[in-house]
């Protein structure tokens, strides 16, 4: 069979009415019955459906409130954490400032002692030894 033979053939009418293209009558009847049942179910559910939507709306509002509260708690925790960090940093800064002041005081005392030629004694074997001053 050649391509020309294939193209020259016509599609029979029974192929167009195959189950691939159209549903059979048996399936249509079953669908009509199920469609009728669905409509009946819809009618039965319809009054409750309003309640469901109200319940859904209430759930959505509650979820939104929970989300807002969680976000508020998160911001509060973050704020408290930042405050704690700020306190720690402030304390560290004060400690470093105190150490610097102490070091400055010690340096000033050493300068005064050096000027007066009275350096502190270094204890060596229970004896006070004064270092030589240059």
What stretch of H or E contains 90?
helix 25-116
Q: How many CB atoms lie within 10 A of CB 119?
A: 13
Provide the number of structural domains found in the chain. 1
Token pair for residue 49?
């459906």
In contact, 117 and 133? CB cutoff 8 Å = yes
pLDDT on residue 94: 96
**What pLDDT is stored for residue 80 in this prediction?**
94
Evaluate if pTM is beyond 0.85. no
Tokens of 8: 């020259």
Q: What is the predicted pLDDT for the residue at 66?
A: 97
- Domain annotation covers residue 123: yes
| Positions of the chain with pLDDT under 70 | 11-52, 117-134
CA separation, residue 59 to residues 4, 52, 62, 107 (Å): 67, 10, 5, 71
In a domain, 62, yes or no: yes
Structure tokens at 7: 């193209």
Domain residue limits at 93: 25-129
């Amino acid at each position: 069979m050649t391509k020309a033979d294939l193209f020259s053939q016509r599609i029979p009418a029974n192929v167009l009415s195959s189950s691939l293209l159209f549903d059979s009558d048996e399936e249509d009847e079953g669908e009509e019955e199920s469609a009728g049942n669905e409509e009946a179910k819809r009618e039965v559910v319809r009054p409750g459906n309003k309640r469901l939507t109200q319940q859904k709306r209430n759930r959505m509002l509650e979820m939104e409130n929970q989300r807002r509260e969680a976000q508020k708690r998160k911001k509060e925790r973050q704020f408290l954490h930042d405050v704690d960090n700020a306190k720690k940093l402030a304390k560290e800064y004060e400690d470093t400032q105190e150490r610097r002041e102490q070091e400055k005081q010690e340096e000033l005392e050493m300068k005064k002692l050096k000027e007066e030629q009275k350096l502190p004694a270094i204890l060596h074997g229970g004896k006070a030894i004064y270092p030589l001053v240059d």
